[in-house]
Amino acid sequence: MTADAMIYLDHAASTPLDPRAAEAMWVWMQGDGALGNPSSTGHRFGRQAADAVEQARREVAGLVNADPAGIVWTSGATEANNLALLGACRFAGKRGRGRHLVSCRTEHKAVLEACAQLEREGFELSLLEPAPDGSLDPARVLEAVRDDTVLVSLMHANNETGVVHDIPVIAGELRGRPVLLHVDAAQSAGRLPVDAAGWGIDLLSLSGHKLHGPKGVGALYVRPRPRLRLEPLLFGGGQERGYRPGTLPVHQIVGMGRAFALAADGLEADAAYIRGLRDRLWDGFNACGGVLRNGREDGAPHILNVAFVGVHGEALAEELQNLAISAGAACSSADATTSHVLRAMGVPDGLALSSFRFSVARTTTAQDVDAAVAQVRLALRRLRAFSPVWRRFRQGVSLTALYGRGNGFSPNESKGVQ
């Protein structure tokens, strides 16, 4: 690796396409494979395309233990989230079944903005506050459920911090109630066990490019039995049970299916490998001193979100030009405002602006991790040499005194170091 080689540690934003998935896609991008529309089953080309789509449906369902009949193809997890929330709530609202939903302040913007749209349509929203470590007590969820609650929408693993919500417990508590549970599993599928059928999930959002599949394709699992009904967002040819009409992109769907099948085969080994890399990153950063973890140690195995005391985030980002990392969620990192996730956790703005997300994958190497740690260590040394905040922190001044009050500090993190 050369000194100026880029190191990609932004796999929570997007993962590289697995060559085996690319090979499977190529068959449907050339020759006879490029001809058939899977809705045109009156001839061989259409039937072959339809068979490929159904095979991919089984592969995606297999990773998350879902009934393949419930897999609805979308353009990605953002569309899946919108279809789940808007579709379920509008269907129930029109039939007088309730106009209330529950979610959490640390959800992805695709969920929060869909919730905001439903509020504009007259629905009531209960947004739960997380604990300082980003976790959510299942009891809080149950307390927020009312007689008119239609839907609870929660992430499995947070896209910024990796914090994992206890979906099995929440789903179990909701079972038997007339309340739907939607789970955004874009970050957890293929990295943590996800059991849609066993847990009792009604709606599950998935993404292709977060798991070494292609961009531009995702899926929403819609529980087929007992049948769950949604209002569609689009109207047209009736494909995907009418929930998502339009000609299916066979090559993208096949690529996602292959990627999910590969993830299912290597789930335990991949999770152990990337968890080791994440922990190696943390150990290296922690040795620098004045580095705080935003989140929990038992989070998703591929995500590490850390705040660096005594440096300005923009200055540190300039020093780390050879590292592809995220200063927040990739969908909103162009926005100079602080992360809504870290704000909800009580992290003061000064520390939130000095926080970065590092995320690894099975294509990451230990050499990548060690080179990243070396770059960060050198940058911190340079920037902290001129930092009055770092000097005061070294003298024992508390983080609260330096950055303002925030409930995101654990007792041992709010003290300076000698």
The two structure tokens encoding residue 348: 């003061």
What is d(CA 150, CA 7) in angstroms, rounded to the nearest whole number? 44
In this prediction the pTM is 0.94
Confidence at residue 176, expressed as pLDDT on a 0 to 100 scale: 87
223-257, pLDDT tens digit by residue? 999 999 999 999 998 899 999 999 999 999 999 99
* Tokens of residue 354, six digits: 């000095």
CB 333, CB 305: distance < 8 Å: no
317-354 confidence digits (pLDDT tens): 999 999 999 985 444 444 557 899 999 999 999 999 99
Same domain, 207 and 294: no
Domain boundary, last residue among 265, 294, 321: 265
Residue 331: active-site member: yes
335 within some domain: yes
Residue ranges of the chain with per-residue pLDDT less than 50 = 329-334, 407-418
Catalytic residue (choose from 89, 104, 115, 331): 331
Are both 273 and 320 inside the same structural domain? yes
Domain count, the chain: 2
Q: Give the pLDDT confidence score for residue 237 in this predicted structure.
A: 83
CB 138 within 8 A of CB 169: yes
For residue 247, which amino acid is it? T
Domain that includes residue 133, residue range: 19-265
Per-residue confidence (pLDDT) for residue 132, from 0 to 100 = 96
CA–CA gap between residue 231 and residue 93 (Å, rounded): 10
pLDDT of residue 327: 85
Q: Does residue 169 lie in a domain region?
A: yes
Q: d(Cα 88, Cα 215) in Å, to the nearest integer?
A: 26
Coil, strand or helix at 379: helix
Same domain for 316 and 251: no
Residues 325 and 228 in one domain: no
**34 shares a domain with 121:** yes
**Where does residue 226 rank: exposed (0-12), middle (13-18), buried (19+ CB within 10 A)?**
exposed
Residue 335 has a pLDDT of 52
DSSP 313-340: HHHHHHHTTTEE-BSS-TTTTTS-SPPH
